[in-house]
Amino acid sequence: MPVGDLRSEINAMDKIMEIVGTLKALYSTRCDQLMVWYGGLDELAQFAVIAAAIFVSFCTLVFFVLSRTVRR
């Protein structure tokens, strides 16, 4: 393998690792912000958020299953 190819592969891996590091930092920041927001809600609002998330997930699952069933 020529040295130039190896260097370009190393540079590509460095760029990928930099992107992965940026994505991890972004995820961590957003997750922390979400948990602070959720923790600031009263108990009823926290329950409503969880119930809404479950309802949306259920509706999405039902829609996906029905769309796969209708196609057949």
Predicted confidence at residue 56, as pLDDT, reads 98
The total number of residues written for the chain in this structure: 72
Q: How do residues 18-55 score in pLDDT, each as one tens digit?
A: 999 999 999 999 999 999 999 999 999 999 999 999 99
Alpha carbons 54 and 47: distance in angstroms, whole number:
11
Predicted confidence at residue 8, as pLDDT, reads 78
Same domain? 15 vs 32: yes
Same domain? 65 vs 55: yes
Contacts of 51 (CB under 8 A, 6+ apart): none
Going by pLDDT thresholds of 50, 70 and 90, the confidence category of residue 72 is low
Alpha carbons 65 and 72: distance in angstroms, whole number:
11
pTM: 0.62
Range of the domain at 16: 1-40
Q: How many domains, in total, are found in the chain?
A: 2
Same domain? 63 vs 34: no
